[in-house]
């Protein structure tokens, strides 16, 4: 009977993990460039005691957090500080702790130092992994290869200068995972070298690739599975109590 209970408890733990993933996806569905998290289960393992006939089967979780790389909805905003990568590819950013990671988020702005940042206040980096500083300008243009070109204030009429190049990469068969800071890296925590193969569009903002309907349906399925497992645990308890009652000597 305890095997049934252990199995159900293991399933309940898996349901909890799936529910957390689904809730996180729904919470980030309006975050530009967010990549939908996927379940991290990877096979099973059997715990065998050689001194008895008892064994337990456990579901294993993958060490890397997998995500969906489907393209999100492309919104034509016309804002010169909105950029999106068409099809495959990522931008390079540095967060507050100094770690470099990959992202699809392209809602850009400049901070107090004139550095280019995204909506999460992560520094947008060039191919040398350095921040891009944008001097005062009349107009700004971001090309398909990621060049940041401005018409500087105080410059001659029609004068344009390149102030930086947004580093991008299209991974070639790289195994990528999402880190705890929501940025994307290799499984070992490093990032691939920039290859500038991504196509950048100015005035376009990519939304998340989370489908609210799919996530809500998944949540309902998870809740139903949770209820079924709780019923199975209750049934196991009732069967155990019934068996114990049959084993009692008469009169007790």
Distance, CA of 71 to CA of 3 (rounded, Å): 43
Convert 139-171 to b/e letters by CB count within 10 Å (16 or more is b).
Answer: ebebeeebebbbbbeeeeeeeeeebbbbbbbbb
Question: In terms of Cα–Cα distance, which of 132, 64, 66, 67 is closest to 93?
Answer: 132
pLDDT (tens digit, 9 = 90+) per residue, 50-73? 565 555 555 555 555 789 989 999
pTM over 0.85: no
Distance, CA of 189 to CA of 183 (rounded, Å): 10
Q: How far is CA 95 from CA 25, 92, 99, 100, 141, in A?
A: 21, 10, 6, 7, 24
pLDDT (tens digit, 9 = 90+) per residue, 189-225? 999 999 999 999 999 999 999 998 888 888 788 777 7
pLDDT (tens digit, 9 = 90+) per residue, 89-142? 999 999 888 899 999 999 999 999 999 999 999 999 999 999 999 999 999 999
Arithmetic mean of pLDDT, 157-186: 91
pLDDT of residue 134: 95
Question: In terms of Cα–Cα distance, which of 27, 19, 71 is closest to 212?
Answer: 27
Select the more confidently predicted residue: 49 or 20: 20
Instruction: Label residue 172 exposed, middle or buried (CB < 10 Å: 0-12, 13-18, 19+).
Output: exposed
Distance, CA of 148 to CA of 132 (rounded, Å): 9
The CB density around residue 13, as the number of other CB atoms within 10 Å, is 14
pLDDT of residue 51: 60
Question: Chain centroid to CA 46: how far?
Answer: 30
In sequence order, which residues have a C-beta less than 8 Å from that of residue 17 and are 6 or more positions away?
39, 40, 41, 61
Domain range summary for the chain, segments of one domain joined by +: 2-67+210-243, 74-206
């Amino acid at each position: 009977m305890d095997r049934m209970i252990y199995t159900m408890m293991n399933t309940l733990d898996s349901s909890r993990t799936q529910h957390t993933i689904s809730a996180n996806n729904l919470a980030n569905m309006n975050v530009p460039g967010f990549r939908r998290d996927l379940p991290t289960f990877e096979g099973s393992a059997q715990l065998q005691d050689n001194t008895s006939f008892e064994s337990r089967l456990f579901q294993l979780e993958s060490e890397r957090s997998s995500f969906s790389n489907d393209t999100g909805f492309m919104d034509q905003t016309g804002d010169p500080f909105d950029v999106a990568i068409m099809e495959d590819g990522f931008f390079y950013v540095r967060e507050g702790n100094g770690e470099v990671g990959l992202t699809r988020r392209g809602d850009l702005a400049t901070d107090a130092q004139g550095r280019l940042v995204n909506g999460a206040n992560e520094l947008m980096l060039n191919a040398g992994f350095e921040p891009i500083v944008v001097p005062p300008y009349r107009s700004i243009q971001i090309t398909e290869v990621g060049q940041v070109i401005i018409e500087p204030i105080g410059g001659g009429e029609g004068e344009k200068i390149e102030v930086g190049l947004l580093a991008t990469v299209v991974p070639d068969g790289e195994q990528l995972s999402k880190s705890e800071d929501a940025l994307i890296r290799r499984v070992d925590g490093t990032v691939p070298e920039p290859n500038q193969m991504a196509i950048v569009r100015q005035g376009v903002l990519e939304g998340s690739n989370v489908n609210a309907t799919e996530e809500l349906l998944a949540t309902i399925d998870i809740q139903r599975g949770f209820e079924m497992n709780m019923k199975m645990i209750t049934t196991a308890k009732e069967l155990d109590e019934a068996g114990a009652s049959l084993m009692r000597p008469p009169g007790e």
